[in-house]
Amino acid sequence: MEVSAEAVLRRNNVHVSGSGTRTIMFAHGFGCDQSMWEPVARTFDHDFRVVLFDYVGHGGSDLNAYDAERYSSLTGYARDVVEIGRALGLRSAIFVGHSVSAMIGAIASLEAPEMFSDLVMVGPSPRYIDDEGYRGGFSRDQIDELLQFLADNHLGWSAAMAPAIMGNPDRPELGERLENSFCRTDPEIARDFARVTFLSDNRGDLAAIQARTLILQCSSDIIAPMEVGEYVHANVPDSVFRLLRATGHCPNLSAPEEVAAAIREFV
C-alpha cells in the first residue's frame, strides 16, 4: 500500500531545517527520539539541509501507525526511512544513524541505493548476542533480563517519559522541545523495539553496503564494544573506522562537538 508523502512526514514526525544542497538525515537509536540529535544537528544547519525524525512509537510520531507485524524486524523500520527519503526526494544524501539505526540505515541503503551515498554509523552493532566465532557482547540470558527490566519499568517509564517533564534552566536551547516531550516512548512499543533490536542479526548485510561508511566507535561502550565496531569496519567494503574519545553509548549527547567534527571531516 502506497502512503502519501504528507502522511509519511506526519507519521514519523519529520522536521526539515537548514539550508544547503546536500541533505543529512539523523536517526535516533533505541530508547530515545530525535531530540538526542539536536546538539549535533544544529551545527549542520547553516550549510546542509537537515532532516530529523522519530520512529513510530517514539517521540512525536503517530502511535496509531504502529503495526506490530511491520515493525517486527529492522527491515520495517528501514522501510520507514526509505519512505521518508522518497517523500523528501532524497538522492545521494548522508544518513547518520545512532546505535540500532546504523543497521537500519544500512538496510535502507540496500533497499534504495540511490538515496544515500554516505552512511555514518555511531556505535553500530550488526548482532548483539554472542555467536560462534563472533563476540557481540551479550548473552541470550542478558537480553531476557533486559526485556524483564523494561517490563518492570512499565510504570516508571510512562511517568518518566511523560510530557510534564520540566524545562532545564541552564540549557535553555532545549527549552521548547522539553515542554513537549523527551524521549517519550510508548512502553509496549519500546519493548517490541528492544526485542527487535537486541535479537537482530544483520552481519550478512554488511558486505553488500555500497555507500561510503564512517564508523564512529565510542570508548568503553557496553552496548557496542570496540571489537564489534572493528568487525563492522572489517566487513563493510568502503569504510573508515574512527575511535572517539567520548565514553558511553551516546556521544551525540555527551560529546556533540567531537561527533559533529568527525562527521564533517568525513563528508
Partner 1 sequence: MSDQFPAEDLEDLYETAPCGYVSVSPDGRIVRANRTLSDWLGWKPGELLGKPLNDILAFGGRIAVETHLAPLLRMQGHVHEIALDLLTAGGEKIPTIANAAEKRDTGGGHLFTRLTLFKAVDRRAYERSLLDAKARAERESRAHGEAALAREQFIAVLGHDLRNPVAALAAGIRLLRQREQISDRGRSILSEMEKSAARASNLIDEVLDLARGSLGGGLIVERNADAPLTPVLEQVIAEMRVVAPEHAIEARLDIDEPLHCDRGRIGQLASNLLANAVTHGAVDQPIRFEAASDGEHFVLSVANAGEPIPEQARGRLFQPFFRGDARPSRNGLGLGLFIASEIAKAHGGSLDVSSTAEETRFTFTMPSAVPSAD
Residues forming the site for partner 1 (CB under 8 A): 29-32, 35-36, 99, 142, 145-146, 148-157, 159-160, 165-166, 168, 170-171, 174, 178, 182-183, 220-223, 247-250, 253-254
Percent helix, strand, coil in the chain, to 5, is 45, 20, 35
Residue (163 or 237) nearer to partner 1, CB:
163
**In the complex, least distance from residue 41 CB atom to partner 1, rounded to whole angstroms:** 14
Catalytic residues: 99, 221, 249
Looking at the DSSP bridge assignments, the partners of residue 24 are 50, 94
**In the complex, least distance from residue 23 CB atom to partner 1, rounded to whole angstroms:** 25
Helix (H, G, I), strand (E, B), or coil: what is residue 74?
A: helix
Q: Which is it for strands 93-98 and 212-219: parallel, antiparallel or unpaired? A: unpaired
> Do the Cβ atoms of 205 and 106 come closer than 8 Å?
yes
Angle between helices 100-111 and 74-87 (to 10 degrees): 60
Distance CA 53, CA 210 (A): 24
For the chain, give the number of residues: 267
Distance CA 137, CA 40 (A): 28
Instruction: Pick the closest to residue 186 from 157, 164, 144 (CA basis).
Output: 157
